[in-house]
Amino acid sequence: MTSKVFYNGDLRTTCTHLHSGESIITDAPTDNNGKGEAFSPTDLVASALATCMITVMGLKARAHEWNIDGAELHVTKIMASDPRRISEVIVEVQMPFGDFDEKARKILENTGKTCPVAMSLHPDLKQTIHFIWR
């Protein structure tokens, strides 16, 4: 088992990662009758894409002895209706200052764009990924 989810009531959950014991809270968003005081489940999906991207990029960078510490990803989730769903996730990847040649950039960008979460999302969900190299 990976996690345990407890419904607290009032459209809030507590999710506990069983291996580490770490917990996160989710709330329904305000546009869906919630308080919006924490990540919504769809916020977590969008954020999972970005965290997965940078994690596998970190693995690739470590293997090549490239330093990507300080990279920052900005995530925008766009919702659609009928049915209510995520229609697009926009991720802006701001890479740290570094001496990344064209080959290194292509390797890292391809690694991020093909992370496990990206490959697991429905093909109708548009993934718009922008890399900014400083």
Determine the pLDDT at residue 14: 98
Selected from 3.30.300.20, 3.40.50.20, 3.10.290.10, 3.40.50.300, the CATH number assigned to the domain covering 41-132 reads 3.30.300.20
* Predicted pLDDT of residue 100: 96
- If we measure between CA atoms, which residue out of 128, 129, 84, 81 comes closest to residue 108? 129
pLDDT confidence bin for 114, thresholds 50/70/90:
very high
- Mean pLDDT, the chain, rounded, equals 97
Give me the residue spans of the domains in the chain: 3-32, 41-132
What does the pLDDT average to over 5-21? 98
Q: What pLDDT does residue 130 have? A: 98
Please state, in angstroms and as integers, the Cα–Cα distance from residue 105 to each residue in 45, 71, 101, 118, 133, following that order.
Answer: 26, 13, 6, 18, 8
Task: Tell me how far apart the terminal alpha carbons of the chain are, to the nearest angstrom.
Answer: 41
pLDDT tens digits for range 58-103: 999 999 999 999 999 999 999 999 999 999 999 999 999 998 999 9
